[in-house]
Structure 1
Amino acid sequence: MSTIPDITHGADDIVVPFQVEEIDLRGRVIRLGRSVSTMIDRHGYPAPVARVLAEATALTLLLGSGLKFDGRLILQTQTNGPVRMVVVDVATPDRVRALARFDAEAVDAAIAAGHAEPAALLGDGQLVMTIDQGGDMQRYQGIVSLDGQGLEKAADQYFRQSEQIDTRVRLAAAEEFVAGDEGLTRAWRAGGVLVQHLPKASTGHRDLDPGDAPDGTAIPEPDEAWAEARALTDTIGDDELVDRNLSPERLLFRLFHERGVRVFDAQDVREHCTCSRDRINGIIRSFSGDERRDMVEDGAITVTCEYCSTSYRFAPGEFDLAE
């Protein structure tokens, strides 16, 4: 049986990589708390919209944490549902920001009709994944049709068509009450797991020692191994993905202890916006003098970041409005 390591990280805002050698499986588990709750609270999203944003954030971090370079992974949905657009921007390895745009009346109607699940709120459209390695490197962009299938199935499809890798993704988000000095407050949590099948035949070797499965454990054929991994992953309950009292390590032990699961060091993630006064200043200077004059309201040029809602106020005299 596998040995569960001492848990040195907090249970929230981490990504935990793992590998199950006996069935040629690798993957990552994510658990989000303060980071995703901060982004949601800042905008005051309705609960169903918050859930969509939280799941999208978990998915993007699951994908971005697997990149081996410093760059950005941007997930964007463009759909006809009540939640028109979601954007999650991950700066590898550990920074994330996100926003959602939605039709409030359409969201209320969906709630009243009992159709407030994330897949229904997104509706039909596209999910676009953009990988930016920075510098002179060419961007890679993958596009997947949503068509009411939701983020989990769209992610599975993305890997099938872009990398031809058998992949299963599970996502969950939930609101909870947290006791504090001022009584009970609401907070959001999100979690997810990504598992991928990488048969020996496709890699030529194994980099890690095999797990500590019992002697005599039968090694299944590749198709059987993936069927087993997928079936085990599908047994995970949404509550297990967001349970603050169930660490990612123990969740993995529940799933794969019979095969031997190897857990690697957790990677911290944090909510972080890349906006700054200098950056906004540069954007304003990219406009013409006439355009800058049109920006002046109540004696100032004010720009509010869509991601973090920080407002930057500039005096018109800081710019040449005559250009």
Structure 2
Amino acid sequence: KSTPGPAFDLIGKGYFAVLIDQGEGTTPYSGLTPIAGQSLSDCATTYFDQSEQLPTRFSLTFGRSTQPNQDESWRAGGIMLQHLAKASPLKVGLTQEQAEIALGDVEEENWTRANMLLDSVEDLELIGPHVSPTKLLYRLFHEEEPRVFEPQKVHFGCTCSPERVRKALSIYSDKDIATMTTDEGVVTADCQFCGAHYRLDPDDLGFQAAERKNGG
């Protein structure tokens, strides 16, 4: 339910990109949908409606947080609510029969109730830090007997590197590399995901440079 406002209008037209990395040994999955609605929540909801075709809701917010003896800081928080098609007994610790009993068929009444509970969340509860995620989950959905898993730390990461940039440019000839070379005598590249900026020696780039290096 991130609050719409003039700032979101400045985005204009474009696409909302989602990159899902399921861990080591898997290939990240990316998806694109048009920017829709008046908030990032609306964009994310549209993505799941069109791509995953799973009923999904988001409640997102941000704001300044002040704690005793600490400087004021920005905090953000959110909840993702999704109606899964079926449960995995292995993941939730249930037998197949128990999982089917617990979930049953997709019932509109249950989904409507879950959405009503989500709509009751306050911005201060999402931002924290006085209300922990576990306490908020219990406050909203305690009658549904939610399961709480061990928390996983979230950190920013990107797989870009100078070597990957060189590999991407390895299909170009010396002539092509020359057109990419700046007046300073370097080839520059920017990662569109993390914003990393690379400055590379043009003599090391392209397939002809590789041939010279290998004595070809």
Could you tell me the TM-score, scaled by structure 1's length?
0.46
| Deviates most, 309-318 or 272-281 | 309-318
Q: 1:314 aligns with which of 175, 200, 204?
A: 200
C-alpha RMSD of matched pairs (Å): 4.0
Paired residues, number:
189
Could you tell me the TM-score, scaled by structure 2's length?
0.65
% same residue: 35
* SS of alignment partner, residue 263 of structure 1: coil
Q: Deviations over 1:83-125 (max 9, x none)?
A: xxxxxxxxxxxxxxxxxxxxxxxxxxxxxxx722x3x333455
Distance change (3 Å), C-alpha of 1:312 and 1:249: same
Q: What is residue 156 of structure 1 aligned with on the other side?
A: 45
Q: What is residue 303 of structure 1 aligned with on the other side?
A: 189
* SS of alignment partner, residue 271 of structure 1: coil
Distance change (3 Å), C-alpha of 1:203 and 1:319: closer
Q: What is residue 103 of structure 2 aligned with on the other side?
A: none
Alignment gaps of 5+ in structure 1: 1-54, 56-113, 210-220
1:170 correspondence with 2:62: no
Query: Is the Cα contact below 8 Å between 1:293 and 1:321 reproduced in 2?
Result: no
Q: Distance in 2 between matches of 1:320 and 1:141?
A: 30
Q: What is residue 30 of structure 1 aligned with on the other side?
A: none
Query: Is the Cα contact below 8 Å between 2:174 and 2:208 reproduced in 1?
Result: yes
Query: Is the Cα contact below 8 Å between 1:296 and 1:316 reproduced in 2?
Result: no
Q: 1:195 aligns with which of 66, 81, 90?
A: 81
Query: Is the Cα contact below 8 Å between 2:171 and 2:206 reproduced in 1?
Result: no
Distance change (3 Å), C-alpha of 1:250 and 1:311: same
> For the pair shown, which has the larger CA radius of gyration, 1 or 2?
2
Query: Is the Cα contact below 8 Å between 2:63 and 2:76 reproduced in 1?
Result: yes
* SS of alignment partner, residue 267 of structure 1: coil
Distance change (3 Å), C-alpha of 1:243 and 1:296: same
Distance change (3 Å), C-alpha of 1:314 and 1:141: closer
Alignment gaps of 5+ in structure 2: 95-105, 210-216
Q: Which one has the bigger helix percentage?
A: 2
Q: Deviations over 1:43-98 (max 9, x none)?
A: xxxxxxxxxxxx8xxxxxxxxxxxxxxxxxxxxxxxxxxxxxxxxxxxxxxxxxxx
* SS of alignment partner, residue 199 of structure 2: strand
Query: Is the Cα contact below 8 Å between 2:76 and 2:126 reproduced in 1?
Result: yes
Q: Which has the higher contact order (CA 8 A, sep 6+)?
A: 1
| Deviates most, 149-158 or 232-241 | 149-158
Query: Is the Cα contact below 8 Å between 2:173 and 2:206 reproduced in 1?
Result: no
- Letter of the aligned partner of 1:262 in structure 2? R
Q: Which one has the bigger strand percentage?
A: 1
